[in-house]
């Protein structure tokens, strides 16, 4: 899951303050989150639980490979400090989105005025917008794992060592780094209200897949849709799970572009090197600070460029 689309919509943006530009789904989001998180906690309360850190000393064989019929799903559940941190990150993300709404809306309107197609004006525009948004989201999500600057933005969402519905709300605070990925929709003739709706529905769909209360859906759904099982893999630090299952609503993009991995071994959630903090500022900006340190110590511009734009973990080859 990635950052929420900024709350804007058509001509309304010219008439109302940013904080008031909320549709019915926006207004229902908070009670929906509260009710569903409470329900998830209730469902999991008597289930056997794993211990946080139970896989820290796991061997490579225990973290990878295949096993039939597969490891059983044993949840980690909720923890108060982790949940509070997740909600704090959501509040910050919403605040940043509102603050940057104006520039982003103007950029989309600029591209819409210079559109090269009227695909987005057809009667089926919301359906096609949902599919196109999901495809672009796949590539945005993939690039956020493959380019360190974008990873510094997205790593926030992966930094929890737990996995529950509140994890979906652990959202980053620098969405301006990747908003450009969706600007082609404006060039194809989609207005800002339609783009926002597609992004909103995509984001809301991804909320429910952040859970260990659901094991697997029927096989037909698992083949086409992104599910809780597929997305648990995406949040895994197991070697075989790294950089897999980027899809938003549809998992078919991963199968088409070669990044699909089924859930077989138990998932070790979090990062390959966890940050061990519940401080929202450190959660939101620790990787940006790491980039700054590496750039400052780099020997030349080639290495500085590499630390910013090459894959996370990149280091220059020793002479």
What is the 3 state secondary structure string of 10-74?
CCHHHHCCHHHCCCHHHHHHHHHHHHHHHHHHHHHCCCCCCCCCCCCCCCHHHHCCCCCCCCCCC
The reported pLDDT for the residue numbered 23 is: 84
CB atoms within 10 A of CB 180: 12
The reported pLDDT for the residue numbered 57 is: 82
The reported pLDDT for the residue numbered 120 is: 93
The reported pLDDT for the residue numbered 55 is: 86
What tokens were used for 234? Answer: 């995406």
End-to-end CA gap in the chain? 39
The reported pLDDT for the residue numbered 53 is: 87
pTM for this structure? 0.91
What is the 3 state secondary structure string of 226-265?
CCHHHHHHHCECCHHHCCCCCCCCECHHHHHHCCCCCCCC
| pLDDT < 50 regions, the chain | 4-14, 17-20
The reported pLDDT for the residue numbered 19 is: 43
Residue spans of the domains in the chain: they are 12-277
């Amino acid at each position: 899951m990635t950052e929420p689309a900024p709350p804007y919509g058509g001509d309304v943006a010219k008439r109302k303050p940013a904080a008031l530009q909320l549709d019915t789904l926006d207004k229902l989001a908070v009670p929906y989150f509260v009710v569903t998180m409470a329900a998830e906690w209730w469902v999991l309360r008597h289930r056997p639980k794993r211990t946080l850190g139970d896989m820290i000393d796991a061997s490579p064989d225990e973290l990878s490979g295949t096993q039939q019929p597969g490891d059983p799903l044993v949840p980690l559940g909720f923890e108060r400090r982790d949940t509070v941190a997740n909600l704090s990150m959501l509040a910050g993300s919403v605040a940043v989105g509102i603050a940057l709404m104006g520039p982003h809306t103007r950029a989309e309107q600029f591209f819409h005025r210079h559109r090269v197609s009227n695909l987005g004006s057809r009667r089926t525009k919301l359906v096609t917008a949902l599919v196109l948004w999901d495809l672009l989201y796949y590539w945005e999500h993939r690039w956020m794992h493959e380019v360190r600057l974008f990873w510094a933005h997205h790593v926030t969402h992966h930094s929890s060592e737990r996995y529950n519905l509140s994890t979906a709300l652990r959202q980053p605070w620098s969405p301006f780094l990747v908003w450009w990925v969706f600007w082609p929709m404006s060039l194809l003739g989609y207005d800002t209200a339609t783009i926002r709706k597609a992004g909103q529905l995509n984001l809301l769909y991804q909320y429910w897949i952040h859970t260990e209360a659901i094991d697997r859906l029927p096989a037909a759904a698992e083949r086409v849709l992104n599910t809780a099982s597929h997305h648990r893999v995406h949040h895994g630090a197991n070697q075989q799970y790294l950089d897999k299952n980027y899809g938003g609503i549809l998992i078919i993009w991963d199968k088409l572009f070669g990044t699909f991995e089924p859930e077989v071994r138990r998932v070790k959630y979090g990062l390959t090197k966890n940050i061990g903090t519940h401080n929202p500022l450190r959660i939101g900006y620790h990787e940006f600070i790491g980039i700054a340190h590496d750039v400052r110590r780099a020997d030349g511009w080639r290495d500085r460029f590499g630390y910013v734009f090459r894959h996370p973990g990149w280091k220059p080859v020793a002479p």
